[in-house]
Structure 1
């Protein structure tokens, strides 16, 4: 069999002159046909990218934010778009089925006190998470939008980070939320009941600077994080596999202290004769 040679990546078509100023956020719709961009000009734009070498803008710029748009995310069905901005608000937009038009979906979400740095939908599309420079995370029931009701936060703010929350990611099953922060840590939250969300395990330490992105593996058994310290870290969330590895490296004894040192992302349980 002949050896396969991968071609180096190359740009498709000319750059998109999307905004009057820097582009701070991009996100594809789930069907891959539409791209959303957020910019320093306080606007959001939608693009038809079915012809990747010849994308074209869809409709007018989406206006409503009064400061730079820092984050954009589509709901899993592609019919709702969330945008966060330095004006401390989140806005929701109804996107037509063909992605050609978007319109505001209710009033701005205003629970944060400082710039909103990250937005992410849960896999079932019912819950939106938002992270802010005010060091908190908020969860929102976006089904309110479909009912025509005002969208309100679910439960209390998720507090624990000591600096801005810069990254969010839901696990594939939607039961865990990961957050990355300017305090150099990653935190996990049990959001199986979004109205009663709570921390899951201890904070994950190791980064030496702001954590800018977090992402779960497709099976949800590992979490990756990366930051301004020029490193990426991978955290296992498979308790059995993690315990076996640590037991093998601790002489067959895994005490509670060992567990908390090596596996802070997982709740403690006895393993390999630990106590």
Structure 2
């Protein structure tokens, strides 16, 4: 069995234990026993432990979301419909593990895991916009992702507490949030001043390796003085383009700035 298949097997096994034990080393060891894999081998496959398991969970959900989006007739859909479909499919991708998602949010709320939560959130909204056909290379690149990050996070929190049939209340909430996101983005796009200053105010800080831009990050927005980020071992992200740097080695960190605090998400 390849390392990738073993990682998938361990993640699937871990998800059966997470609702009871949370995202912990205990869960990784329990998953290893279930799969007949030694504890040492499991830690080699997930050297980051619980944090890497959470990231694998998020990446797998992104992958499933993109696979379902490809089944839709996206060219015939409006941008609003594509984005809403992306968010809905992302939530449906983790619906079978709702309690694990709730536990993941609690895990990412810890100070030492905040940056991981923001990276996971960025990768999700970036994948949605890219699948929706976004080709922005100016300030719109940032505003769209920052605004959708807020919309996705609030919808996720609403969904986790939704008791309506087939999550009907959540989908209504989602439609309202997407409408707000697109209206705000449209208003911001009308002002030249906003075009020049909004990305810096909204995004706070973008962290990337020296001389590199993030995937689909406008080259015109590279900055000097970026701190170097050590790459984390993880599965390739489904939204990464071939021939470009992967988010595994270029980390984009969205600072907690929007209206209130933008939290990391799963």
Settle same-fold status: TM greater than 0.5: no
Normalised-by-shorter TM-score class: under 0.3
Which one has a larger percent strand, Structure 1 or Structure 2?
A: 1
TM-score by length of 1: 0.24
TM-score, normalised to structure 2's length? 0.24
Structure with greater contact order relative to length (CA < 8 Å, sep ≥ 6) = 2
Instruction: Give the structure with the larger helix fraction.
Output: 2
Higher alpha-carbon Rg:
1
